[in-house]
């Protein structure tokens, strides 16, 4: 403990001070890992609430010890995060906040245009009335909600292919048996 210049108040170097507030869970975890890699102790407030609610319902505050604050400020000097309160909030028709299907981030925005896919030759195009979103956190594209019975054509196609393959295999086995 050191005595402050005024003589009356004592400053405890181990008290916690807020470094960043109002963060999204994923941003808080990234900042925490960056600071801990530099040897600083970092404490997250609301961390357990975030992990229990998939990281997109509660804002997280990042705290460090008072003696470590200047070093932490220097490390995070060029790191910019958008506070949760400044992010645009988008809700679905049920009133739930939209979040990325891949990483859980709420940093999503409507997307129009050519949608990149992993399958070469498959070209998807999203229009104004379609519900495609782009995640700014993990740079993924996804369609919110499924169209009714969207899985049926694929299921019927696979059933037909597997049925024909089974019949073909049975025919080959029977043909070879009679040779």
61 or 89: whose pLDDT is higher?
A: 61
Asked whether residue 97 falls in the same domain as residue 81, the answer is no
Give a yes or no: residue 116 inside a domain.
Answer: yes
The listed range with the strongest mean pLDDT (13-22, 75-84, 124-133) is 13-22
Separation between Cα atoms, residue 98 and residue 45, nearest integer Å: 23
- For residue 71, pLDDT beyond 80: yes
Give a yes or no: residue 168 inside a domain.
Answer: no
- The domain tally of the chain equals 2
- Of 36, 69, 85, the last residue of a domain is 85
Give a yes or no: residue 178 inside a domain.
Answer: no
Separation between Cα atoms, residue 151 and residue 153, nearest integer Å: 6
Separation between Cα atoms, residue 37 and residue 26, nearest integer Å: 17
- Of 63, 85, 107, the last residue of a domain is 85
Asked whether residue 72 falls in the same domain as residue 99, the answer is no
Q: pLDDT, tens digit, for every residue of 97-113?
A: 777 777 777 778 788 88
Give a yes or no: residue 32 inside a domain.
Answer: yes
Asked whether residue 24 falls in the same domain as residue 79, the answer is yes
Percent of the chain with pLDDT over 90: 16
Q: List, in sequence order, every residue forming a beta bridge with 16; answer none if it has no partner.
A: 65
- Mean pLDDT over all residues of the chain? 76
Asked whether residue 103 falls in the same domain as residue 70, the answer is no
Asked whether residue 21 falls in the same domain as residue 38, the answer is yes
Half-sphere exposure of 85 (CA within 13 A, CB side): 5
User: How sure is the predictor about 6, in pLDDT bands with cuts at 50, 70 and 90?
Assistant: very low
Q: pLDDT, tens digit, for every residue of 128-162?
A: 777 788 887 788 887 776 555 556 777 888 899 99
Q: Which domain holds residue 37?
A: 9-85
The tokens 């899985």 sit on which residue?
151
Separation between Cα atoms, residue 71 and residue 64, nearest integer Å: 10
Give a yes or no: residue 94 inside a domain.
Answer: yes
Asked whether residue 55 falls in the same domain as residue 101, the answer is no
Separation between Cα atoms, residue 108 and residue 132, nearest integer Å: 10
User: How sure is the predictor about 167, in pLDDT bands with cuts at 50, 70 and 90?
Assistant: very high
Give a yes or no: residue 153 inside a domain.
Answer: no
Asked whether residue 106 falls in the same domain as residue 136, the answer is yes
Give a yes or no: residue 43 inside a domain.
Answer: yes
| pTM higher than 0.75 | no
Asked whether residue 62 falls in the same domain as residue 121, the answer is no
CATH number at residue 23: 3.30.70.1530
User: How sure is the predictor about 173, in pLDDT bands with cuts at 50, 70 and 90?
Assistant: very high
171 or 56: whose pLDDT is higher?
A: 171
- For residue 58, pLDDT beyond 70: no
Asked whether residue 99 falls in the same domain as residue 43, the answer is no
């Amino acid at each position: 403990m050191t005595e402050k210049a005024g003589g009356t108040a004592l400053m405890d170097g181990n008290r916690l001070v807020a470094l960043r507030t109002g963060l999204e869970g994923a941003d808080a975890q990234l900042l925490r890992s960056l600071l801990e890699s530099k040897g600083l102790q970092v404490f997250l407030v609301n961390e357990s609430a975030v992990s229990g609610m998939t990281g997109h319902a509660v804002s997280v505050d990042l705290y460090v010890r008072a003696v470590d604050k200047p070093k932490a400020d220097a490390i995070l000097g060029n790191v910019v995060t958008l506070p949760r309160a400044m992010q645009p909030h988008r809700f679905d028709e049920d009133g739930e906040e939209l979040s990325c299907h891949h990483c859980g981030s709420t940093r999503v925005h409507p997307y129009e245009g050519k949608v990149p896919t992993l399958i070469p030759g498959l070209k998807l195009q999203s229009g104004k009335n379609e519900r495609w979103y782009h995640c700014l956190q993990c740079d993924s594209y996804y369609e919110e909600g499924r169209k009714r019975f969207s899985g049926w054509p694929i299921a019927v196609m696979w059933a037909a292919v597997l049925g024909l393959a089974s019949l073909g295999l049975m025919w080959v086995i029977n043909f070879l048996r009679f040779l």
